Amino acid sequence: MKKRLAACLLALAMALSMAGCAGGGADNKVVIYSSAEEYRNEFLQQELNKQFPDYQITIEYMTSGNQAAKLLAEGTGSACDISYDLEYGYVDKLRGVLADLSSYDTTQFLDELVDPGMNVLPELRNGGCIAINRKLLADKGVAVPTSYQDLLKPEYKGLISMPNPKSSGTGYMFLKSLVNAWGEEEAFEYFKELTPNVLAYTSSGSGPVNALVQGEAAIGLAMTAQTVTEINNGADLEILYFEEGSPYSSYGMAMVKGKEQRESVKAVFDYLLNTLVPMEKEKFFPEKIYKDKDFIITNYPTDIQYADMSNDTAEEKERLLAKWQY
């Protein structure tokens, strides 16, 4: 009887062990919340699948604002293990949700991009530009704009696309840059006058370039990197900068508190940080985040003059977005 019981227990243990191996086990499941564009997420998913064939890695896309809200609502019990492309303006509110990353060496990064609270590591500087579809402008008989004020002219009605600052970090960086350049009252008055000319305030930062590629809009307050990617894919687009300079946002990667203890999560996070982030710079977003590394991409503007993005705090962002009505 004892031998039979022992044999049964051994068989059960072997069955459970085999099931764990076949299914990968719960520890092999890694969930990434990402606000990166679709083409970047596809690249990341492909590379992660190659590097970790035994892991079940899921990348869930959501806009910057939605990712921050979801993480805040879910807390440390979130299904998310790794937050990717998290806009810095949301980090202060999420410090209770995000893991302490102070064990990581940040000396390779530009000092201004290092989070003093060490809850997020630099991953991206996302610069903005004025992207245009010159052919569509010509078809409409409209001149190429040379300033933000030009965009208020009635001939541009329905030809402009911009991300909504409330849901998109890209949209917010345009708002914040003009608040810094002109003052708050003048900047908000500007967007009030601009709104009748806007075809749509898109929910994501990629929306304006998509609208230009599809011929739905002729002018986009857009991401430089996405515009260059589409140009290199054959789209007939051009990049302009107005005198206020290129607005930009800083984005980073983080782990949800407690998840850094899991071997699979730590392995995926470290591979993203050390291998895939530099690869992304080389392929998509060369704007500088490292002290000693530079990247060159065909058709990417050089010597970019950046806008004044000072006082880009969580409190300032919340206050400005509360005033946004469009």
The string of DSSP codes covering 289-309 is: -BSS-----TT---S--B---
The per-residue pLDDT string of the chain (326 residues; one tens digit each, 9 = 90 and over) reads: 444 544 444 444 444 343 333 334 568 999 999 999 898 999 999 999 999 999 999 999 998 889 999 999 999 999 999 999 998 988 999 999 999 999 999 999 999 899 999 999 999 998 999 999 999 999 999 999 999 999 999 999 999 999 999 988 889 999 999 999 999 999 999 999 999 999 989 998 899 999 999 999 999 999 999 999 999 999 999 999 999 999 998 999 999 999 999 999 999 999 999 999 999 999 988 999 999 999 999 999 988 999 999 988 878 988 999 999 99
The pLDDT, as a whole number, for residue 26 is: 66
The pLDDT, as a whole number, for residue 313 is: 82
What is the value of pTM for the model shown?
A: 0.76
Answer for the pair 98, 254: CB distance below 8 angstroms, yes or no. Answer: yes
Residue 117 is encoded by which pair of tokens?
A: 């609270």
Cβ atoms within 10 Å, residue 259? 22
Any residues with CB less than 8 A from the CB of 134 and at least 6 apart, and which?
144, 236, 238
For residue 87, which of 42, 38, 126 has the smallest C-alpha distance? Answer: 126
Widest Cα–Cα separation across the chain:
93
261-266: Cβ within 8 A, 24+ apart: 262/27, 262/81, 263/27, 264/27, 264/28, 264/29, 264/30, 264/52, 264/55, 265/30, 265/81, 265/82
Cβ atoms within 10 Å, residue 267? 14
The pLDDT, as a whole number, for residue 20 is: 39
Find tokens 């099931």 and name the residue. Answer: 19
The pLDDT, as a whole number, for residue 5 is: 44
Residue 72 is encoded by which pair of tokens?
A: 């805040």
| Residue 256 amino acid letter | V
For β-strands 248-255 and 82-87, DSSP reports them as: antiparallel
CA distances from 96 to 124, 256, 312 (A): 23, 9, 20
The pLDDT, as a whole number, for residue 8 is: 44
For residue 150, which of 185, 192, 193 has the smallest C-alpha distance? Answer: 193
Residue 266 is encoded by which pair of tokens?
A: 């730590």
Q: How big, in percent rounded to 5, are the helix, strand and coil portions of the chain?
A: 45, 20, 35
